[in-house]
Amino acid sequence: MPSINSKTITPKGLGKYNVFSHVKYEHLVAGISGGVTSTLVLHPLDLIKIRFAVNDGRTAAVPQYRGLGSAFSTIFRQEGFRGLYRGVTPNVWGSGSSWGLYFMFYNTIKTFVQGGNTTQPLGPTMHMLIAAESGVLTLLLTNPIWVVKTRLCLQYGGENVAAGSKSAVEYRGMVHGLSHIYREEGVRGLYRGFVPGMFGVSHGALQFMVYEELKNNYNEYRKLPIDTKLATSDYLAFAAISKLIAAATTYPYQVIRARLQDHHHSYTGTWDCIKQTWRYEGLKGFYKGVKPSMIRVVPACMMTFVVYENVSAHLLKRPPKEELK
């Protein structure tokens, strides 16, 4: 991926700017706020999506659910309310840190490319490039958290564990999961699913490109600067549209990533997982869990973006410390 310092994408005169001078931690705080809020509300749907995604119909340790309603009632009956929130701690950490870091990286790189002028439009290609770079940086820092989150979500209880299977290992929480995976599988274990996760960077890039273009075009239509704050309803609509397009286009990578991270399955690598999924389940296998995923990710994205936009707008308009004295 080209660097933002490449002359091919660097606006004239940009060399005098330092990317670190554009870092605003308000974007980090606002992103964390949005990610944590949506995760706490919608985690049960995320858990069910993961369980559907890894269900290849051939693994005895994996419970079978007839549908979304069946999954909810079965999990609640067998594992209680707590079962619906298995893996919520790493999910909160993962979503909060991912959204926070993503928004911070994205806005830092974007402002750097704009030369500090936030009213300068960049175009869809540049938005995708900046979003992709932000996604790679974020994934490098957060992949271990997602591995633990996936495995905690896939602990079904002793009655569903096949004797002698690797799933006999019970992770007591995020810290125990991280330490156990590192001890037993090394760094490679913490970065399982990283390759399909890299393909997943295209998901965020596509989503942010559509979202930014919708906002910019709407403000240009109103003959206002592109960084003008919008109404909450506008953010909700643009977030929903961008998420639907990105999710429908890139969903298969999430299935492959979840299966690689699942300790009930054994694949030699990403390509082996893809081949086995196609061989035994066909195209339908790459879209398992898409219904609960869509039901979760669209409102989650809307919630995250609305919280982010409003919190960041509030924080960024704070008067300087000198004025507060």
pLDDT score of 166 more than 50: no
Q: Does the residue 224 lie in any domain?
A: yes
Q: Which domain holds residue 151?
A: 14-316
Return the pLDDT at 235: 92
DSSP labels, 111-169: HHHTTT-TTS---HHHHHHHHHHHHHHHHHHHHHHHHHHHHHHT---GGGSPTT-GGGS
Identify which has the larger pLDDT, 220 or 54.
Answer: 220
Under the banding of pLDDT at 50, 70 and 90, the label for residue 220 is very high
**pLDDT value, residue 322:** 46
Is it the case that residue 323 has pLDDT exceeding 70? Answer: no
Task: Render pLDDT for 39-50 as a digit per residue (tens, 0 to 9).
Answer: 888 888 888 887
- The tokens 């964390």 sit on which residue? 32
Work out the average pLDDT over 248-272: 82
The string of pLDDT tens digits covering residues 264-281 is 677 888 899 899 999 888
130 to each of 34, 35, 105, 178, 204, how far by Cα in Å?
Answer: 21, 20, 9, 30, 10
pLDDT, averaged across the chain: 81
- Kindly indicate the confidence band of residue 123, based on its pLDDT and cuts at 50, 70 and 90: confident
Q: Is residue 4, in this structure, part of any structural domain at all?
A: no
> Which of 10-14, 161-165, 257-261 is modeled with the greatest confidence?
257-261
| Number of independent structural domains in the chain | 1
List the single range of 123-127, 204-208, 227-231, 318-322 with lowest mean pLDDT: 318-322
pTM above 0.95, yes or no: no
* pLDDT tens sequence across 173-200: 788 888 888 988 889 889 988 887 787 7
Domain contains 5: no
321 part of a folded domain: no
User: For residue 50, is it within any domain?
Assistant: yes
Asked if the structure places residue 9 within a domain, the reply is no
- pLDDT at position 3 is 44
Find the CATH number of the domain harbouring 246. Answer: 1.50.40.10
Residues 251, 293: Cα–Cα separation, whole Å: 9
Do the domain assignments include residue 176? yes
Residue with the two structure tokens 């554009």: 22
In a domain, 8, yes or no: no
The answer, yes or no, to whether residue 22 has pLDDT greater than 80, is no
